[in-house]
Amino acid sequence: MMAAMPRIIAIYLVRCDAASIDSRAAAIAVEQSVEMPISAIDDSRVLADIVGRVESIDDCGGSVFEVRIALATATTGLEPGQLMNMLFGNTSIHDDVALEDVVFPSEVLAAFGGPHHGFEGLRRRSGAEGRAMTCSALKPQGMPPEALADLAMRFARGGVDFIKDDHGLADQAYSPFPERVRAIARAVAEANAETGGRTRYVPSLSGHLDQLRRQVSVAREEGVDTVLIAPMVVGLPTFHALVCEFPDMANIAHPALAGVQRIASPLLLGKLFRLFGADATIFPNHGGRFGYSTETCQRLAKAARAPWGGLKATVPVPAGGMTLDRVTEMLDFYGQDAMLLIGGGLLAARERLTEETAAFARRVARYPDG
Amino acid sequence: MMAAMPRIIAIYLVRCDAASIDSRAAAIAVEQSVEMPISAIDDSRVLADIVGRVESIDDCGGSVFEVRIALATATTGLEPGQLMNMLFGNTSIHDDVALEDVVFPSEVLAAFGGPHHGFEGLRRRSGAEGRAMTCSALKPQGMPPEALADLAMRFARGGVDFIKDDHGLADQAYSPFPERVRAIARAVAEANAETGGRTRYVPSLSGHLDQLRRQVSVAREEGVDTVLIAPMVVGLPTFHALVCEFPDMANIAHPALAGVQRIASPLLLGKLFRLFGADATIFPNHGGRFGYSTETCQRLAKAARAPWGGLKATVPVPAGGMTLDRVTEMLDFYGQDAMLLIGGGLLAARERLTEETAAFARRVARYPDG
């Protein structure tokens, strides 16, 4: 009766003294599966097929242990929320445990399917053959639709590939989603008609599934084919549902509320967002406003792009206080299979916004030549 | 044009040296509102009405500061995900900042509305007049529907008020949601008919909004009027949408994936879950499997129950490794306006499950007498 799928291997870092690690590991295996005293379980199939199994415990030094636990894949119901629940639901409440990585059997990859467009799809849309892609951001929130549309037109004239809404732009009284998206999409289309460019406007979606559906439908009517969404704000089940329901719509994932997780960023923003369908993933680059290390950024980009059971690659989008003078260094670090996002750094040019945007696009296109 | 609603006061704890706290606080106010250099903003209304404002900075000692920031209510669009995004979206990525508390203007309370049933509603349903409510949990996952139904019948015969699914029970191949819920609901109804009791079965819901709707509809057909849901697993926008769409259905919120947040538990599990409509909120009691302090538990219960702009009270449900011998102490601590949840502690009684459950119910009913 039980499905005989290979197990998921969840890898935890546990801060613990050496004398207690065996029992801590066993307790996590129980907590993340049957969540009750094993001695009170009679069902032999539950004991054999459902209870989590400690596979290995490695001492990382400094009272930290890497614990690998094999979790029954069937318990996830192959649904994103329940998968997260089984990986870290109750154990997330223990502040001495972090979810470091997960090894999924191919059945899980096949069930969720990953990005529909991924790196190649986004590059094709933007015509960025042989170079990295470029992106900027519309802000500040609080401006009326026409003012944002004017800003978008000036960005588009500069030839950036993607113009995303700031993730603070939602469906607010001073700038309702339909009016905003229509005004901006038309302004960008007009600029493209002028320049012969193919800049894409990427509106930010928010709300529950029905609200998201209505927003996609408004965006699609305006020819939008790429949207921004914060998976941890809308919830992973909703994010994945949207990806499945609108396979033609590419998406860029935003890390809002994701940083708060005691889940390693390379796993969450790289691997898990990719599994559930992110075509690109924005994250805070090292040396910006946020504290990610170069190693974290490297691991995150690798999780997003490495060959992985036939899943398309997710585009890494380093961001968070980036500036024009970092373009060469960022491309040295990430290579060309990336998208560079500079928001405030371009907006600070004010009346020279179009020129500064053009300089950004040019620098990326000419790389490795200055 | 801007709505003139009073601002939301977000209270952060920031670990920082004294020389930098002014600029850190100002940076958070910008990050959680316009997210761009203030110097590049021309629009005077944005500067006046949208940019976050540092209200106060207090030294808590030990290089920790309490920073109060007034955020424009209009930026939240009065939508749960966007509200969380504005409170902590990007700042969550800074691991030296925690969201400690939030003071909402009455407009926000009125917009979300809080629980539909709350303490009084659940007490009325369960007939627990003048006493605390009792709850137990069906587990382990992996058992087929009939085995879980048998367990539920034995719990119900013991006279517990609520029998909730373990939060690991979802829609799995070995126990699909409709079959499970039908079998268990009928077993509990049968036991109620025998005993004259009014035990309620509380199935665990999971998935995206459409899946949740189908699950509610299955549950309702079986006479279920209370459901379990983990708001951080399904996502807060989805949780609130469900609460609004099914006002007759009471809910018990589960903390899975909520512990992982660098958001104070009294705020998240008490205040925010209450704001978005939780009728009861499960949390790990002090002295159990999880590390909550007595002070955290006290603050959480207070956030759930204190008078709050006309919102109904959310029932605190201390849990996580509780046992029969703690009943009196827990009622001393939480008072009678609570629900006590003992899961594994009753299941460990095995063939004496009904008797042990009856002892639990009796002890709660007779309190303060042994």
Per-residue pLDDT, A260: 56
Q: Is A215 on the interface with B (CB under 8 A)?
A: no
CB contact under 8 A, B46 and A140: yes
Per-residue pLDDT, A2: 46
Radius of gyration over every alpha carbon of chain B, rounded to an integer in angstroms: 22
CB contact under 8 A, A348 and B233: no
- How many angstroms separate the CA of residue A366 from the nearest CA in chain B? 28
Per-residue pLDDT, B260: 58
B-contacting residues of A 14-33, CB under 8 Å? 27, 31, 33
- Give Cα separations from A333 to A132, A220, A316, B162 (angstroms): 12, 35, 12, 56
How many C-beta neighbours within 10 Å does residue A369 have? Answer: 7
Helices (H), chain B: 21-31, 44-49, 80-88, 106-112, 118-126, 145-157, 177-195, 209-221, 231-234, 236-245, 265, 273-276, 294-305, 327-334, 344-347, 353-366
- Angstrom distance (rounded) from CA B53 to CA A258: 24
Give the residue ranges of chain B where pLDDT is below 70: 1-4, 259-261, 370
CB contact under 8 A, A238 and B85: no
- Angstrom distance (rounded) from CA B131 to CA B366: 8
Q: Which site among B93, B165, B228 would you substitute to test the A interface, given the most A Cβ atoms closer than 10 Å to its Cβ?
A: B93
- Angstrom distance (rounded) from CA A243 to CA A216: 11
Give the residue ranges of chain A where pLDDT is below 70: 1-4, 259-261, 370
- Chain B residues with CB under 8 Å of A206 CB are 77, 79, 81-82, 85, 237
The pair phi, psi for residue A58, each rounded to 5°, is -120, 135
User: Scanning every residue of chain B, which has its alpha carbon at the shortest distance from the alpha carbon of A289?
Assistant: B94
Amino acid at A240: H
Q: Is B262 on the interface with A (CB under 8 A)?
A: yes
- Is residue B280 within 8 A of residue B122, CB to CB? The reply is yes
Q: What DSSP state is assigned to residue B40?
A: G
Q: Is A351 on the interface with B (CB under 8 A)?
A: no
Backbone conformation region of residue B225, classed left if phi is above 0, alpha if psi is from -120 to 50, else beta: alpha
Q: Is B323 on the interface with A (CB under 8 A)?
A: no
User: Scanning every residue of chain B, which has its alpha carbon at the shortest distance from the alpha carbon of A5?
Assistant: B173
Q: What DSSP state is assigned to residue A175?
A: B
Q: Is A107 on the interface with B (CB under 8 A)?
A: no
- Chain B residues with CB under 8 Å of A97 CB are none
Q: Is A89 on the interface with B (CB under 8 A)?
A: yes
CB contact under 8 A, A93 and B174: no
CB contact under 8 A, A85 and B256: yes
- Angstrom distance (rounded) from CA A239 to CA B86: 19
Q: Is A5 on the interface with B (CB under 8 A)?
A: no
Q: Is A211 on the interface with B (CB under 8 A)?
A: yes
By Cβ distance, the residue of B36, B142, B209 closest to A238 is B209
Amino acid at A192: N
Q: What is the tens place of the pLDDT at every residue in B125-179?
A: 999 999 999 999 999 988 999 999 999 999 999 999 999 999 889 999 888 999 9
- Angstrom distance (rounded) from CA B309 to CA A147: 37
The two tokens of residue B293 are 């302090």
Q: What is the tens place of the pLDDT at every residue in A287-321?
A: 988 878 999 999 999 999 999 999 999 999 999 98
How many C-beta neighbours within 10 Å does residue A194 have? Answer: 11
**For residue B58, how far is the Cα from the chain centroid?**
29
- How many angstroms separate the CA of residue A240 from the nearest CA in chain B? 9
- Give Cα separations from B9 to A334, B17, B56, B68, B322 (angstroms): 39, 23, 10, 6, 36
Q: What DSSP state is assigned to residue A123?
A: H
Q: Is the dihedral of CA B235, A211, A247, B178 positive or negative?
A: positive
How many C-beta neighbours within 10 Å does residue B28 have? Answer: 22
- How many angstroms separate the CA of residue A122 from the nearest CA in chain B? 25
By Cβ distance, the residue of A84, A256, A291 closest to B85 is A256
Q: Nearest-CA neighbor of B282 among B142, B143, B148, B165?
A: B165
- Is residue A328 within 8 A of residue A363, CB to CB? The reply is yes
CB contact under 8 A, A89 and B230: yes
CB contact under 8 A, B49 and A142: yes
CB contact under 8 A, A172 and B240: no
Instruction: Give every CB contact of residue B369 below 8 A, 6+ residues apart in sequence.
Output: none
Q: Nearest-CA neighbor of B31 among B77, B76, B81, B92?
A: B92
CB contact under 8 A, A174 and B74: yes
ipTM, two decimals: 0.90
- Angstrom distance (rounded) from CA B219 to CA B227: 8
Q: Is B125 on the interface with A (CB under 8 A)?
A: no
Q: What is the tens place of the pLDDT at every residue in B177-204?
A: 999 999 999 999 999 999 999 999 999 9
- How many angstroms separate the CA of residue A129 from the nearest CA in chain B? 31
- Angstrom distance (rounded) from CA A140 to CA B51: 9
Q: What is the tens place of the pLDDT at every residue in B203-216?
A: 999 999 999 999 99
Per-residue pLDDT, A133: 98
- Is residue B161 within 8 A of residue B126, CB to CB? The reply is yes
Residue ranges with strand state E in A250-344: 250-253, 280-284, 315-319, 339-341
- Chain B residues with CB under 8 Å of A3 CB are 173-174
User: Scanning every residue of chain B, which has its alpha carbon at the shortest distance from the alpha carbon of A76?
Assistant: B172
- Is residue A193 within 8 A of residue A156, CB to CB? The reply is no
By Cβ distance, the residue of B89, B171, B343 closest to A36 is B343
Q: Is A286 on the interface with B (CB under 8 A)?
A: no
End-to-end CA distance of chain A: 63
The two tokens of residue B113 are 């509305």
Enter the pTM of the model: 0.93
- How many angstroms separate the CA of residue B130 from the nearest CA in chain A? 31
- Is residue A139 within 8 A of residue A177, CB to CB? The reply is no
